[in-house]
Amino acid sequence: MEELFQVFAVVQILIGLYLIVQALQWRGYARRRMLTDPGFYAPKTAVLCPCKGVEPGLDQNLNALCEFNHKNYEVFFILATESDPALSVVKRVMAQSKVKAHLVIAGIPEGCAEKVNNLRAAIEQLPEDFEVLVFADSDGRPGKGWLQRMVGPLGNSKLGATTTMRWFIPKAGNAASLLLAAWNAPVVTMLGENRKNFCWGGGTAIRRSIFDQIGVLDEWRGSVSDDYSLTIALERSNYPIQFLPECLTASFVQTDFAGLIEFSNRQMIITRKYSHKMWTTAFATHVFFCFTILLGVWLTLGKVIATLPALGLAALTFFPLLLAAIRGALRAATVADLLPAYRPQIVAQSWVYVVVGVFVPFLYILNFLASLATRKIYWRGVRYEVISPQQTRILSS
């Protein structure tokens, strides 16, 4: 058993070193993108933001969407019904907005997620003179230059879409909020330069002509995931997706353990249905890592209890964890550069991504098991059954 562990540990160390090299490459790409001029491409743009319920900081988040330095744009806030508690906040933000802001009431969805239905309804009503669609989430707080940088690269007509990712900043110091931030952090470095990127619904820009050409509205018809379905449509038409780390979006998070499990399980269940290859690769990687660490701990404790030399086994167990901590530190340091307005919070919480992040793979295992056991998710007050990428059943609301 010790020989097997030694082989596994060496493999984990080699994988860890390779991932550190990738993290350094990602950091280099992020730094280059920060210095890149966004260009002059600035067509008439529609910023589409589905809203549901009142969350901490909603006023500030929605106000941020009305304060971009991109002059040629309008904002569309979309609600399913006028009874939504977010309506009063949306109306207050619209009244104060310096840019043109609209309210869209989408109606109750049938056979798709509420967010997807909101987006479909808004786009179907959108005047034809809007050349670019930009999707944003109500829990994100992008900076003033965000929209210009999201839209600028689309001046290249061969590009399918631009996208970015969220970075959770815990508003509370409770364990669940910290763990959720650490859980989400590795997703940021899954996107990069010259990779097979995927769209994130809280920050994606696409030319309307391409959106129509690849049939996204049809792809959304029975979908629970706006971003995965958009990614599938782009991939089917061989359009590349460019990741923009300079557009990373801060998202302030405050949750409990029930919210943590609900969020992380939902992400994994959706991933299994929409990107089975990604899910399988991640599952195998995390199981291998967790098994190796647990086996090392068990063998080391056995040696200690038997009063036998255990330093070698302990070192082989610890070293993959150290490499994971280094990756977390590199990730946090890079994000602090990308989000200078929130640098103090990110630096102060960097220990979360170094220490807590080491244990995140074990939470991922629970998420993988949940995605094997059920295809039901709970999302902002609505329970869905994700039957396939094209079929969603609404169970309750």
Are residue 218 and residue 358 in the same domain, yes or no? no
Q: How far is CA 28 from CA 33, 134, 323, in A?
A: 9, 26, 19
Question: Looking at the domain assignment, is residue 259 inside a domain?
Answer: no
Question: Looking at the domain assignment, is residue 201 inside a domain?
Answer: yes
Query: Over pLDDT 90: what percentage of the chain?
Result: 92
Question: Looking at the domain assignment, is residue 271 inside a domain?
Answer: no
Are residue 114 and residue 205 in the same domain, yes or no? yes
Question: Looking at the domain assignment, is residue 107 inside a domain?
Answer: yes
CA 229 – CA 220 distance, rounded (Å): 6
Are residue 194 and residue 58 in the same domain, yes or no? yes
The β-bridge relationship of strands 161-163 and 241-243 is parallel
Are residue 236 and residue 332 in the same domain, yes or no? no
- Look at residue 173 and tell me whether its pLDDT is greater than 90: no
Query: Residue 75's beta-bridge partner residues?
Result: 47, 101
Are residue 61 and residue 181 in the same domain, yes or no? yes
Q: Tell me, what's the pLDDT at 393?
A: 95
Q: Tell me, what's the pLDDT at 273?
A: 96
Are residue 119 and residue 204 in the same domain, yes or no? yes
Question: Looking at the domain assignment, is residue 264 inside a domain?
Answer: no
The sign of the CA dihedral 378, 253, 30, 333 is: negative
Reported as a single tens digit per residue, the pLDDT across 276-319 is 999 999 999 999 999 999 999 999 999 899 888 889 999 999 99
- Look at residue 338 and tell me whether its pLDDT is greater than 80: yes
- Tell me the average pLDDT of the chain: 95
Question: Looking at the domain assignment, is residue 262 inside a domain?
Answer: no
- Look at residue 71 and tell me whether its pLDDT is greater than 90: no
Residue 228's domain comprises 36-254
Are residue 327 and residue 186 in the same domain, yes or no? no
pLDDT band at 357 (very low <50, low <70, confident <90, very high): confident
Are residue 21 and residue 156 in the same domain, yes or no? no
Are residue 20 and residue 42 in the same domain, yes or no? no
Question: Looking at the domain assignment, is residue 265 inside a domain?
Answer: no
Domain CATH code at residue 162: 3.90.550.10
Reported as a single tens digit per residue, the pLDDT across 113-152 is 999 999 999 999 999 999 999 999 999 999 999 999 999 9
Are residue 224 and residue 368 in the same domain, yes or no? no
Domain count, the chain: 2
CA 18 – CA 325 distance, rounded (Å): 14
CA 258 – CA 251 distance, rounded (Å): 19
Reported as a single tens digit per residue, the pLDDT across 256-269 is 999 999 999 999 99
For the sheet containing 376-379, what is the strand order?
Answer: 376-379, 382-388, 391-396
Question: Looking at the domain assignment, is residue 152 inside a domain?
Answer: yes
